[in-house]
Structure formats: structure tokens, C-alpha cells
Structure 1
Amino acid sequence: MQKALRARRTLIYVICGILTLLSILPFWILLVNATRSVEQIRQGLSLLPSGSLVHNWHVLMNQGFNVWQGMGNSFIIAACSTILTVYFSALGAYAFTAYNFKGKKLLFSVMVGLIMIPPQISMIGFYQFMTKLNLLNSFIPLIIPSIAAPNTVFFLVEYMETVYQPDYADAARLEGAHELKIFHRIMLPIMKPGLATMGIFAFVTSWNNFLMPLILINDQSKYTLPMLVQLLTANIYRTEFGAMYLGIGLTVIPLIIIYLFLSRYIIGGVTAGGLKE
């Protein structure tokens, strides 16, 4: 029996190791290609770094790839939109979970239906609306709409149903706490693992957003990192693939940092959930 369990555990470890390698491999190839020249990249795949990193960096600088400005623009948009998404979605999820009000099921069904609508359908109307509000070439249209995130609300509602305890809120009300104080002091700490999970998704989605900023922003000084990467394809005579890989790699590094920062809350929440009171 123990041999069978040991063999099964070993098999699970081997499968997890293979899946981990398959997940890391694309990032490793990306970083390796950032150190290779155009000729080396055209010769085929390689898993060993080369010595063209400095050359690719100079190509980026010569083609107007302002790394720090683009990273700053991307971070402002992604950070602000993530905060708005997570906070207001948590507020909505708490309302759906803690309160029973008329039309609750209908409103929740409408919200779920909104998840099924592709965002590309509303782009033309959104662009015309922003034109009338004179908000083109601004970060505001890329940040404020993050308040309404039905997919995040749906996830947090499902999460809240597993961790919500009405006794906590009732005890706080008996102590004279108002509803916002209960939400901020009691519910947000309980929802921390779910908030961290959706914060990662929201940040990655906003950071990698390319089409909407391309439609709304014309000033190059306000370009995000994905928009700056597409400038590297403007040379019709020679496409600097190494510089492109380096630019894409620079866009990935902040995402990895954010994931490493927020993942500890997810792990901590899972560990705490596994303890018996």
C-alpha cells in the first residue's frame, strides 16, 4: 500500500515538474532571444543566451523606446485600474452576499450576462463617447471604467459564499459599527486571498492592454510599454527581432514582480483556510 502511494506521489511530482517546465520554457526562450542577434534568431531556436544584449538595448534606445516612461505610464494605468477594480468589485460582492434585497437575483443574472459580451463590441461607441467628453489622449478612459468589472464581482461573490460568516457582521453592528466600517475592518481582511487573485488578473490584463490605449492615445509620451513595442516593427528594411524580444521581456518583468508580491497572500489564505479552529 505504501509503495503504491509513494509511486502515485512520485508520478504527481513528475507531472507537476513537467508542467512547470512547460510553463517556464516560453519565458526562458523570450529572455534568451533578447540576448541574440537577428541572424541568430533566424537560424532557429536556442536555449543558451548569446552576447547581443547590449546591442539590442542600443537598438531600443535608438528607435524611441523610452523604457522608463513607458513603464511609468503602464504602471499608472495598471495600478489605478487594479485598485478600482478590486475595491469596487469587493464592495459589490459583499452586497450580493450579505444583503437580501428585491431584484437581487435578476441583477446578478444581468451582471453574469455582461461577462459574455465581448469588449470589442463596445469599442466604437466607447470611442465616440470619449470624443464627446473630450477625454481622448488621456489615461482617464483607461482607468475609470475599471470600476465596473462584472467578472471580478462574480468571482468574489463565489469566494465570499465560502468564507462569509454573518455572525461577524452582526457582532460588529451590535458594537455600533456602520456598514462601511464592517466592510473595511472585517470583510476586506477575510477576502484578502480572493482580492490578491483578482488583483493579479486585473493588473496583468490592464498592463497587457494594447488595443484600447492604441485607439485612445495619440501622444507618444503617453504610450504604454505594449504600444512602444509595436514601434519596433516600423522599419520595413530590417526587423530587429532581438530588440523586440528585449522590449517584450521588459514588459513581462513587472508582471512577475507583482505576481511574486501578491502570491504570498494567496498562499497565506489557503494555509489559514486549512487550519481548524
Structure 2
Amino acid sequence: MNTIKESSKASLTVNRTIAYIVCILLALLSILPFWVMFVNATRSTPEIQAGISLLPSSHLMTNLDVLLSKSFDPIRGFINSFIVSGSTTILAVYFSSLTAYAIVAYNWKMRQPFFTFIMAVMLIPTQASAIGFYQFMYQLEWTNSFLPLILPAIASPAIVFFMRQYLLGTLSMEMVEASRIDGAGEFFTFNRIVLPIMLPAMAVQAIFTFVGSWNNLFMPLILLTQKENYTLPIMVSLLRGDIYRTEFGSIYLGLSLTILPLIVVYFLLSRYIISGVALGGIKE
């Protein structure tokens, strides 16, 4: 009997060791591209062209001088990106959660067709509607404005789908009915009772939405033509010169400055990811 127990413990120890080794290797593979990018931000262009290095060099200040000499304004770019990404995140997460609550909490005739239509919208790529969207914004005189980048975020089918799945597994309709019996309004019920329940899932979607909006280059590059409105991805995309004048060290430094806020946001909200994704995967 003792032999069986010892064999079982040894097997469990081996399995755990293998699992830890695999997880550590995957973590290192995930961190490696970011580390190489930060290291390249300290290297000169000839050093970068010579090959990959995992050790920092001594050209950080030189790259910074080159970066600033190319009209790269990190403060202005950060403010513009934060305005767009922050506003997009707040609007998308709140109104998509409100839509998901309406789909789950109300039993109305067109509920399923409406949800099917929302899912169908996910199949339409942004690039397919870019020309028509730009013409529409031009007619509204909203080009060189942050509004076209913020307001469409109110309709986010992917977040609606995720929040609906989350509510199906966590929302107790008894609490909602009790709130209605007590005379609470629908917005009061949502904001005070339902919204706190959805916070883990909202945090997960806030991370994804913020990162996606922060890294968005396609639509801002089309709509924004004035330098004072450029976001950080646009500024980084304009750093590359011709083949004879490209300073790769300054480009990597610009990329490093661009992703630093994303790393901060991720670590602030990352504790919600596992619980939010797990509960969001529950289906009817």
C-alpha cells in the first residue's frame, strides 16, 4: 500500500515538474519579443542589422535624440491615444454590457433575431466598410476629429456576445425581480445590482478594448491628417525613412514607448482575466 502511495506521489511530482517547465518556457517565449524590442531600443542601427542581441547597448540617448528630431512628440501622442482609447473603452464596455443585459433580462419577441443580427455584424471586416465610413465622416466634417474613432465603439458585437455569455452563467433573475418589486428603475437595477456582478468580465473586455484601440493604426491613419491629432501608432509608422536613412534604434524606442501604457493597464487588470474568461465561456 505504501509503495502505491509513494509511486503515486512520485508520478504527481513528475507531472507537476513537467507542467512547471512547460509554463516557464511558454512565459519566456512570450516575454522574449518584448525584451528584444527593449534591448534594440538601446542599440544603434548597425548593431541591430548585425543580428539579435539579448544584452542592452549604450545608444539609448542617441536614439532618443534621433526620435525627437523626427517630430515624434511622445507626450502629445500619449494624450491623443489615451483620449481615444480611454473613451472607446468606457463607451464600448458600458453600452455593450447594457445591451447584453437587455438580451438576457428581457423576454421579447425579436430577442433571438436581434442577437443573431449582432453576431452577423462581427463577420464584416473594418476594411470592407472603410471607404463608405470615410465618405460619411467627410460629409459630417468629422475628419481630423476623435469622434469617428470613439463613437462607433458604442456598438461592439464581440463584447455584447461575451457579456451575454457571462450573464447567462452569473445573473440571478430573482435579484432583478426583487429590485423591480421594490420600485427600482431599470437603470438603477443595472448600475447598482447587475454592473457589480459583471465587473470581472468588464475588466477583461476593458483590457482587450483598450489594447485594440491603442494599437489601432488603420482608421486613425485614414481620418487624422493633422499632426496635432496623431496617435502614437501613427507617429511610429512615420518614423521609417527611406532605405538609406532608417534609424531602427529610434523606431524600436518609439515602439517601446508606445507599449509601456499597455503593460501598465494589463498588470492593473490582469487578475480579472482568468475568472472573467472562464465564466464568460459558459453557454446555455
Band the TM-score falls in, shorter-chain normalisation: over 0.9
Query: Which one of the candidate residues 105, 112, 115 is aligned to 2:122?
Result: 115
Query: Which one of the candidate residues 183, 186, 193 is aligned to 2:193?
Result: 186
For residues 229 and 18 of structure 1, what CA distance do their matches in structure 2 show? 31
Q: How does 1:139-158 map to 2 (within 5 A)?
A: 139-158=146-165
Measure how far apart 1:38 and its partner are.
0.4
Measure how far apart 1:10 and its partner are.
1.4
For residues 266 and 116 of structure 1, what CA distance do their matches in structure 2 show? 25
Query: Which one of the candidate residues 257, 261, 270 is aligned to 1:250?
Result: 257
For residues 73 and 185 of structure 1, what CA distance do their matches in structure 2 show? 32
Query: Which one of the candidate residues 100, 108, 127 is aligned to 2:107?
Result: 100
For residues 234 and 223 of structure 1, what CA distance do their matches in structure 2 show? 18
1:3 paired with 2:10, answer yes
Give the secondary structure class of the aligned counterpart of 1:233. Answer: coil
1:44 equivalent in structure 2? 51
Instruction: State TM-score, norm by structure 2.
Output: 0.93
For residues 246 and 66 of structure 2, what CA distance do their matches in structure 1 show? 11
For residues 108 and 278 of structure 2, what CA distance do their matches in structure 1 show? 34
Query: Which one of the candidate residues 166, 172, 186 is aligned to 2:173?
Result: 166
How high is the sequence identity, in percent, across the aligned residues?
A: 50
Structure 1 unmatched ranges of 5 or more: 273-277
1:275 equivalent in structure 2? none
1:224 paired with 2:227, answer no
Measure how far apart 1:271 and its partner are.
11
1:176 paired with 2:187, answer no
Query: Which one of the candidate residues 52, 68, 74 is aligned to 1:67?
Result: 74
Measure how far apart 1:218 and its partner are.
0.7
1:85 equivalent in structure 2? 92
Q: Deviations over 1:160-195 (max 9, x none)?
A: 111111111112122211111110011111011110
Specify the code of the residue in structure 2 equivalent to 1:53: L
Aligned partners of 2:203 and 2:272 also within 8 Å: yes
Q: Deviations over 1:14-36 (max 9, x none)?
A: 11111111100000000000000
Give the secondary structure class of the aligned counterpart of 1:135. Answer: coil
For residues 63 and 108 of structure 2, what CA distance do their matches in structure 1 show? 59
* Residues 181 and 262 of structure 1, relative CA distance in 2, 3 Å threshold: same
Instruction: State TM-score, norm by structure 1.
Output: 0.95
1:196 paired with 2:209, answer no
* Residues 27 and 122 of structure 1, relative CA distance in 2, 3 Å threshold: same
Query: Which one of the candidate residues 136, 141, 147 is aligned to 1:129?
Result: 136
For residues 124 and 269 of structure 1, what CA distance do their matches in structure 2 show? 36
Query: Which one of the candidate residues 138, 145, 160 is aligned to 1:138?
Result: 145
Measure how far apart 1:235 and its partner are.
4.7
Query: Which one of the candidate residues 52, 56, 65 is aligned to 1:58?
Result: 65
Measure how far apart 1:264 and its partner are.
3.2
Measure how far apart 1:266 and its partner are.
4.0
**Worse-superposed segment, 107-116 or 124-133:** 107-116
* Residues 110 and 78 of structure 1, relative CA distance in 2, 3 Å threshold: same
Specify the code of the residue in structure 1 equivalent to 2:265: I
Measure how far apart 1:269 and its partner are.
6.5
1:239 paired with 2:246, answer yes
Q: Deviations over 1:80-126 (max 9, x none)?
A: 00000000000011111111111111111111111111111000000
Aligned residues: 272
Structure 2 unmatched ranges of 5 or more: 1-7, 280-284
